[in-house]
Amino acid sequence: MHAQRQHFTDVNTHASAIAGWQQTYDQTSAGSAHTELEHLTADRFQIFRERLDKRVVQHGAAPADRFCLAIPAGRGRAGVFQGNTVGSADVTVLHSGQEFFVQGSEGMDLLAISVDALRLAQVAEREFSAQELRQLNRATRLNVSPAFLAAIRLQFEGLVGAVLQGEALVEAQLEDLLLECMLLLLQQVNPTGAGRTVNMAVSAYLVRQAHLMALECFDEPLSVLQICERLDVSRSTLQRSFLGVTGLRPVEYLRVVRLNAVRQRLQCTAAEQCTVARVAGDLGFTHLGHFAGSYRALFGELPSQTPRQGSAAQEKRSRR
């Protein structure tokens, strides 16, 4: 996995820096170009944000075997995509190897995401009907609410920013987060599950099974999509089950399970035997700052303040 922020003074050099894309950029407005590119590229997904201060014609083909979305990221106009003007809440779609022709406006600020098309199709089969899948496979543009799009955009941008800042994020977990965001976005266009109910006994069973899975995989926490695959249920079904039984979303509940496991391990080990950072890392928390904040929010104390095994005896000796 590779992440980088770059600046260019030539638009086609900028285009060539985006791995996996067969494309050419032609500058059509006068003046020295100054562009910026932030990109995160892995084996099965890619996110990049590009800012262009000149009018540019973009033409080429999307990567093979990828499903690609492009989201306007700034206030500037995105331009014309495949002959249609792109609005501030329009998400453009490119399918595997599809050719594209874009007239980009000055000040274009675009966020693009691509994922493995086969993996997306596999998880989407649990979320959409056959007819809805056929519609999505033909779609070239999606229209969603500006507020929802802004929230999804922040999630995508946050992932790139975290990697650029050096956070040690697991590639497989990032891929699942991207797929979940894509499913959420696609469901805004084709809402499914409206009015469906889930039997409480079934919901309780799904929650229990997910809990047991979490206990078995502390070192490499399962994503929500991985749990859906193992239980053979849709993400929306799992979501409704967790909310109905626990009052929490699956990701929140599974984090709470791991935080409790950290607390229990801290309580039964001595500080000299195992540090807080070691325990947190062993249980899948890779960012200590985020971990400490979540721990304090749940238990009302920092992990360093949790009594450790032997601390009472040490305190007694210190009083003598």
Determine, yes or no, domain membership for 320: no
| Boundary residue ending a domain (189, 217, 250) | 189
**In a domain? residue 165:** yes
Q: What percent of the chain has pLDDT over 90?
A: 28
Residues 91 and 185 in one domain: yes
pLDDT at position 51 is 93
Mean pLDDT, range 166-189, rounded to an integer: 84
Range of the domain at 14: 2-189
* CB 133 within 8 Å of CB 195: no
Domain shared by 126 and 207, yes or no: no
End-of-domain residue from the set 189, 224, 249 = 189
312 in any annotated domain: no
Same-domain check for residues 180 and 220: no
User: Is residue 316, in this structure, part of any structural domain at all?
Assistant: no
Summarize pLDDT for 190-246 with one digit per residue, the tens.
654 444 556 878 888 899 899 988 888 887 888 899 999 999 999 889 988 888 888
Do 67 and 124 lie in a common domain?
yes
CATH of the domain at 127: 2.60.120.10
The reported pLDDT for the residue numbered 75 is: 65
The CA distance from 140 to 137, in Å, is: 9
Q: Is residue 314 part of a domain?
A: no
The pLDDT value recorded for residue 198 is 62
Same domain, 118 and 259: no
Q: How far apart are CA 308 and CA 272, in angstroms?
A: 10
pLDDT higher than threshold 70 for residue 303? yes
Rounded CA separation 56/49 (Å): 15
Same domain? 215 vs 97: no
The one-character DSSP state at 128 is S
Count: domains in the chain? 2
Confidence check: pLDDT of 260 > 70: yes
Name the DSSP class of 305.
Answer: G
**Stronger pLDDT, 206 or 83, i.e. the higher one:** 206
Determine the average pLDDT of the residues in 82-95. Answer: 83
Question: Do 297 and 176 share a domain, yes or no?
Answer: no
Read off the pLDDT of each residue in 80-95 and give the average, rounded to a whole number: 83
Asked if residue 105 belongs to a domain, the reply is yes
177 within a domain of the structure (yes/no): yes
pLDDT, mean over the chain: 85
Same domain, 142 and 240: no
Q: Which of 159, 189, 219 is the last residue of a domain?
A: 189
- Using DSSP's 3-state secondary structure scheme, residue 283 falls into coil
| pLDDT for residue 131 | 87
